[in-house]
Amino acid sequence: QKEVEQNSGPLSVPEGAIASLNCTYSDRGSQSFFWYRQYSGKSPELIMFIYSNGDKEDGRFTAQLNKASQYVSLLIRDSQPSDSATYLCAVKGAGSYQLTFGKGTKLSVIP
Amino acid sequence: NAGVTQTPKFQVLKTGQSMTLQCAQDMNHNSMYWYRQDPGMGLRLIYYSASEGTTDKGEVPNGYNVSRLNKREFSLRLESAAPSQTSVYFCASGSLAGITDTQYFGPGTRLTVL
């Protein structure tokens, strides 16, 4: 059974701070890693994906991947109240069509 | 370009009733997916279709059937609804671009079974 674990939160950070969201996965064969944002009552929205060890930056967002530790994280710099949402980590195995999702971390950015 | 669309947005059923959830995408994607999302359970895959004419079971297929009508459309059918099927249902589509393949979600259908 492939598992993706996230701290459910809520994670509260002050406006302007860096929010750090973490995710661990059980399948060493996992190949691609995705971060989705989901506002309350809305559908998941893709933020970014990563498949190589190291950092990948996109605007205020940085995804970090460490395959040896089976760990992926998302950093949000200069957090804004509009970043308040649930963040879903998803993992895809090699040659697989399927995504396995974590249960999500709820982020609250306090003005 | 509407992306992924789903109908209906909301539905209330009585136990034993049947219904079909519709999903369509205009992104020329090959793969399509049906998920359900329940509080505390996260997103779970019900069925998926890697390409037109093929369907496969996901993590929680019991009580559901699917049809990949054509490349654009993928429907989910509940033959005899049960209260345990009360959930939010999301359809997604993906381009099957190998390692960088990403899935894009529709707005969801909120289903209540009484």
Q: Which whole number is the average pLDDT over B93-114?
A: 88
For an interface test with A, give the residue of B43, B46, B90, B91 to mutate (most A CBs within 10 A): B43
Chain A residues whose beta carbon lies within 8 Å of the beta carbon of residue B102: 34, 46, 49
Q: What is the mean pLDDT of chain B?
A: 93
Q: Which whole number is the average pLDDT over B12-16?
A: 97
Report pLDDT for B97.
Answer: 64
Residue A89 sits at the chain B interface (C-beta within 8 Å):
no
Residue A32 sits at the chain B interface (C-beta within 8 Å):
yes
Q: Does A10 sit behind a cis peptide bond, omega within 30 degrees of 0 on the bond before it? A: yes
Percent of the residues in chain A that have a pLDDT greater than 70, as a whole number = 99
Instruction: Decide: B98 and A32 in contact? Cβ < 8 Å.
Output: no
pLDDT of A77 above 90: yes
pLDDT of A18 above 90: yes
pLDDT of B103 above 70: yes
Q: Which whole number is the average pLDDT over A21-37?
A: 94
Task: Kindly report, residue by residue over A39-74, the tens digit of the pLDDT.
Answer: 999 999 999 999 999 999 999 999 999 999 999 999
Transcribe B15-83 into DSSP letters.
TT--EEEEEEE-S--SEEEEEEEETTTEEEEEEEESSTT--EE-S--TTEEEEE-SSSBEEEEESS--G
Task: Kindly report, residue by residue over B54-98, the tens digit of the pLDDT.
Answer: 999 999 999 999 999 899 999 999 999 999 999 999 999 997 667
Instruction: Decide: B62 and B71 in contact? Cβ < 8 Å.
Output: no
Percent of the residues in chain A that have a pLDDT greater than 90, as a whole number = 87
Distance CA B17, CA B82 (A): 8
Report pLDDT for A2.
Answer: 78
Question: 């109240």: which residue's tokens?
Answer: A81
Report pLDDT for A98.
Answer: 86
Residue A49 is inside which H or E element, if any? strand A45-50
